[in-house]
Amino acid sequence: PAKTGHAASQDEKREFMSIFPDLVRDLTEVGTHSDIPDAQKWFAKVLQYNAVGGKMNRGLAVSLSFKLLATQDLITPENIKNAHIMGWCIELLQSFFLVADDIIDGSKLRRGKPAWYLNDNLGPSAFNDAILMEAGIYKILHKHFAHVPYYVDMLDLFHEMTLKTALGQALDLLSCPPGQKPILKKFTMERYNSIVKYKTSFYSFYLPIALSMYMAGITDRELHRQARTILVEMGQFFQVQDDYLDCFGDSSITGKIGTDIGKGKCTWLSVVALQRASPSQRLVMEEHYGVPEEESIRKIKGLYKELNLPATYRAYEESTSSMIRTHIQQISRGLNHNVFFNFLDKIHKRSS
């Protein structure tokens, strides 16, 4: 295994990006479907708009992790390219969910541009474009991996991650129905943890590493289980930070303006606030949480500060990161621990 493994370098990002046009071509210019050029052109437009422009952390994680896990003979330019292709499939899965989520949530912006469904009067028909991107995953996997021994494992994994993500989304929607008041009695820490685990951690944290494990020839179920446990923990850690930054982050650094309070999301902050709230503070939550008016948001932020949540968060951050470090050290030596430490380093103390 290679020695380094820090965050993706500019070179790696460039290399990753350079593959994208080929994948668009695989999906839209191949012999099949040449009888429907209009649909092909549309699909290309959907991909160009939606699949790029993010941080690409998930997509890049496959090759970074592969280089740490594989034996030296496997680390060939061809395999690294294949790792990037798999990475793009995760990015497509993510785009599929984001396009749908933005319609469901009525969000206006995504990655600094108008959400896709707001273009060309698309509205709910943008769902079909989400479906196209998801279907694109399997066309790409078939073209590039149909003959590798881990093809079926890979397909099963994408399917399982998709189901889990949709279950997490369902759970989230049950406590925060869009357009309705959030159901605060469902905002328990247990619920929050389940939503995060299913909706985010599996596909964002476990999926890229699991794919790189298959590529490196690691199919042992126990090793996958160990990786999964730790990566789900990291996903949790990441999401708590995300929630914190949404409210208390510096928007000149995060590049986005928080919307969780106004949208009434089930966040770590809201759950801890409800745990600690006095009856009168709970009334503030009932009245103002999920109301997208500046006045209400100000009140909730005030309450969060009153309840000392920034300090609680800092304590959580410290204890969780050291707990995860301990857990990583307990993982089997069959898995290079740097895969996990690097991931953790990228997350810990991040401000965007």
Cα–Cα dist 235/206, whole Å: 9
As given in the structure block, the two tokens for residue 56 are: 């690409």
Q: Which stretch binds a second copy (CB under 8 A): 48-56, 66-74, 134-142, 224-232?
A: 134-142
Q: Which stretch binds a second copy (CB under 8 A): 158-166, 219-227, 233-241, 274-282?
A: 158-166
CA atoms within 13 Å, Cβ hemisphere of 203: 29
CB–CB of 91/104 below 8 Å? no
Q: Which helix (H) or strand (E) holds 187?
A: none
**Residue 105: CB minimum distance to Mg ion, A:** 4
Say which entry of Mg ion, a second copy, none residue 135 contacts (CB below 5 to 8 A, set by partner kind): a second copy
Say which entry of a second copy, Mg ion, none residue 60 contacts (CB below 5 to 8 A, set by partner kind): none
Say which entry of Mg ion, a second copy, none residue 171 contacts (CB below 5 to 8 A, set by partner kind): a second copy
Say which entry of a second copy, Mg ion, none residue 119 contacts (CB below 5 to 8 A, set by partner kind): none
How many H-runs (helices) and E-runs (strands) does the chain carry?
16, 2
| Residues 32-44 as b or e (16 or more Cβ within 10 Å = b) | eeeeeeeebeebb
| Residues present in the chain in total | 352
Asked if residue 125 binds a second copy (CB under 8 A), the reply is yes
Q: Where are the alpha helices (DSSP H) in 122-220?
A: 126-145, 151-175, 189-196, 207-215
Sign of CA dihedral 2, 328, 165, 49: negative
Asked if residue 128 binds a second copy (CB under 8 A), the reply is yes
Q: Which of 263, 232, 235, 234 is nearest to 247 (CA)?
A: 263
Q: Are strands 109-110 and 113-114 parallel, antiparallel or unpaired?
A: antiparallel
CB–CB of 24/44 below 8 Å? yes
Binding mask 211-250 for Mg ion (x = CB under 5 A): -------------------------------x---x----
**Residue 16: CB minimum distance to Mg ion, A:** 24
Task: Tell me whether residue 108 or residue 314 sits nearer to a second copy (CB atom).
Answer: 108
Q: Return the active site residues.
A: 55, 96, 101, 105, 110, 172, 199, 238, 242-243
Residues 71-100 contacting a second copy, CB under 8 A: 100
Binding mask 12-41 for a second copy (x = CB under 8 A): ---------------------x-xx-xxx-
Q: Which of 322, 340, 319 is nearest to 331 (CA)?
A: 340
Task: Tell me whether residue 103 or residue 215 sits nearer to Mg ion (CB atom).
Answer: 103
**Residue 93: CB minimum distance to a second copy, A:** 11
User: CB nearest Mg ion: which residue?
Assistant: 105
Binding residues vs a second copy (CB under 8 A): 33, 35-36, 38-40, 42-43, 100, 103-104, 121, 123-125, 127-132, 135-136, 138-139, 142, 146, 151-152, 155-156, 159-160, 162-164, 166-171, 173-174, 177-180, 194, 198
